[in-house]
């Protein structure tokens, strides 16, 4: 098998007008003793070559499950997955385990939330980078090592040769995340799934890591799905934003449209919880009261209704479908959408039941 075989299986993305990744009505259910957890419940999205799609939602909204489900990295038992994930013309959901393994790494890679737990604590950094180089690109030991050092250099790690011999615990948090990125990019993937890549890092390092990801993405013409709970993180970096709540897409639009005209009160609430540098320190963030619903037994009607300040009887009775607003690329699911970020009709407030 020649080194390029893995790539030959997929027609070169540049030849295709189609999007690189199309997720259609993806569902991921976990069967637990307590009942079925509908963590991802009918999600569709598309990612074009070289672009970034931000997936935003609170913890518990199913966004992490979504990213793993797209990749096919799910436990095998008690998990049900339906829908299709089409990557460069091939459906990942019907692939064999062996085929999937040839996709993971050279085609699609993942950057994990917490590099402390996502890096093997008892393996040297070097070994963790070279193993995929040797597997997918068939490099020999020396070549892989040189490539790994070059990768560390490209993610901004000083004296890379030395770092290859370090254990993850000997690196700082920011360094670890850079290593994680180097591992993900090692085999030159065409799509990167970054799951909360900067959570747990302090603000300046967050910006550095995100900028690094952005520039590497441009260099390599790589597409990215950036999963985060912080709308601020994707505001300047994503081309399109998908807002998730309780396993469903509640709003989806190109970034400028979304920020200019959010339709869904949940989106608005997420915007209000972005910390702004212009705010005087000590300003209280408008957090959203309550927690996302139990996905075993989600509320009837709109799943956000119990926490929504503008919810009406209709919201609690029937579920709003995803529909277009203004342009075809702006979708939202709400019976009483906002206009320019404000409630459109005089609405009575929801009784707050925390």
Partner 1 sequence: MPDDRELAATGAAAELLADITPGDAALSEEAVSLAVAGARRRPLGIIFWLAVTWVGIVVIAAIFANLLPLAHPNFQNYSAINTGPSIHHLLGTDDLGRDLLSRLIFGARVSLVVGFGSIAIGMIVGGSAGLVSAYLGGGWDATMNGFAFVILAFPQILALIAITAFWGTALWKITLIIGIGSIPLIFRVVRASTLAFVNREFVVAARALGASPARIIFRELLPNVLPAALSFAMIGVAGAIVLEGTLAFLGLSVPLPTPSWGNMIAEGSTNGQLQQNIYIMLWPAISMFLLLLSINLIGDRLRQRFDVRESLV
Partner 2 sequence: MLVTYLAKRLVQLIAVTFLISVIVFLLVHLLPGDPSVTILGANDTPQNRLILLHQLGLNKPLVAQYATWLGQVLHGSLGQSYLTHQQVSQIIAQGAPVDLELIVLSQIIAFAVAIPLALVASRRSNRPVDRMATTTTFGLLALPPFVLAPILVAIFAVGLGWFPATGTVPISQNLATNLHDMILPAVALSFGSIALYYRLLRSDLIATLQEDFITSARAKGLHPRRVMLRHALRPSTFSLLAAAGVNIGSLLAGAFIVESLFAINGVGLALINAVEQRDYLVVQGIALVVALVYVIIQFIVDFIFTVVDPRVARG
Taking CB under 8 A as the criterion, the residue among 13, 175, 183, 302 binding partner 2 is: 183
For the segment 294-333, give every residue that binds partner 1 (CB under 8 A): 294-296
Q: Cβ closer to partner 2: 38 or 136?
A: 136
Q: Which stretch binds partner 2 (CB under 8 A): 79-87, 132-140, 234-242, 314-322?
A: 132-140
- Determine the Cα–Cα distance for residues 79 and 31; give it in Å rounded to an integer: 6
Q: Which stretch binds partner 1 (CB under 8 A): 43-51, 77-85, 173-181, 200-208?
A: 77-85
Taking CB under 8 A as the criterion, the residue among 26, 39, 92, 271 binding partner 1 is: 39
Taking CB under 8 A as the criterion, the residue among 167, 273, 299, 341 binding partner 2 is: 167
**Judged by CB under 8 A, does residue 131 bind partner 2?**
yes
**102 contact choice in partner 2, partner 1, none (CB below 5 to 8 Å, kind-dependent):** partner 2
For the segment 40-69, give every residue that binds partner 2 (CB under 8 A): 68
**30 contact choice in partner 1, partner 2, none (CB below 5 to 8 Å, kind-dependent):** partner 1
By the criterion CB under 8 A, which residues form the site for partner 1? 30, 32-34, 37, 39, 59-60, 62, 64-65, 68, 73-75, 77-79, 291-292, 294-296
Please report, as ranges, the residues that interact with partner 2 according to CB under 8 A. Answer: 68, 71, 73, 100-106, 109-110, 112-114, 117-123, 131-132, 135-136, 167, 169-170, 180, 183
């Amino acid at each position: 098998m020649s080194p390029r075989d893995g790539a030959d299986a997929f027609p070169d993305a540049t030849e295709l007008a189609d999007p690189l990744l199309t997720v259609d009505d993806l569902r991921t259910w976990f069967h637990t003793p307590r009942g079925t957890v509908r963590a991802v419940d009918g999600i569709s999205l598309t990612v074009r070559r070289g672009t970034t799609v931000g997936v935003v939602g609170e913890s518990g909204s199913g966004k992490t499950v979504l990213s793993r489900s797209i990749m096919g990295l799910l436990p095998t038992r008690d998990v049900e997955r339906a829908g299709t994930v089409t990557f460069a013309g091939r459906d990942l959901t019907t692939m064999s385990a062996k085929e999937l393994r040839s996709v993971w790494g050279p085609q699609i890679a993942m950057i994990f939330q917490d590099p402390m737990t996502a890096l093997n604590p008892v393996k040297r950094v070097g070994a963790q980078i070279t193993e995929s180089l040797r597997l997918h690109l068939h490099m020999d030991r020396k070549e892989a090592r040189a490539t790994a050092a070059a990768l560390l250099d490209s993610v901004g790690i000083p004296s890379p040769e030395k770092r290859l011999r370090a254990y993850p615990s000997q690196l700082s948090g920011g360094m670890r995340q850079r290593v994680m990125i180097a591992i993900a990019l090692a085999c030159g993937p065409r799509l990167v799934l970054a799951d909360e890549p900067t959570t747990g890092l302090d603000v300046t390092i967050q910006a550095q890591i995100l900028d690094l990801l952005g520039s590497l993405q441009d260099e390599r013409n790589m597409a990215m799905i950036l999963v985060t709970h912080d709308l601020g993180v994707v505001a300047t970096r994503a081309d399109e934003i998908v807002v998730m709540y309780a396993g469903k897409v509640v709003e989806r639009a190109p970034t400028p449209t979304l920020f200019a005209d959010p339709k869904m009160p949940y989106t608005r609430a997420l915007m209000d919880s972005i910390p702004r540098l212009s705010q005087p320190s000590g300003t209280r963030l408008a957090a959203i009261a309550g927690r996302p619903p139990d996905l075993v037994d989600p509320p009837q009607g709109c799943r956000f209704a119990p926490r929504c300040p503008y919810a009406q009887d209709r919201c609690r009775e029937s579920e709003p479908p995803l529909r277009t607003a203004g342009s075809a690329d702006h979708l939202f699911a709400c019976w009483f959408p906002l206009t320019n970020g404000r409630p459109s009709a005089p609405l009575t407030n929801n009784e707050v039941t925390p």
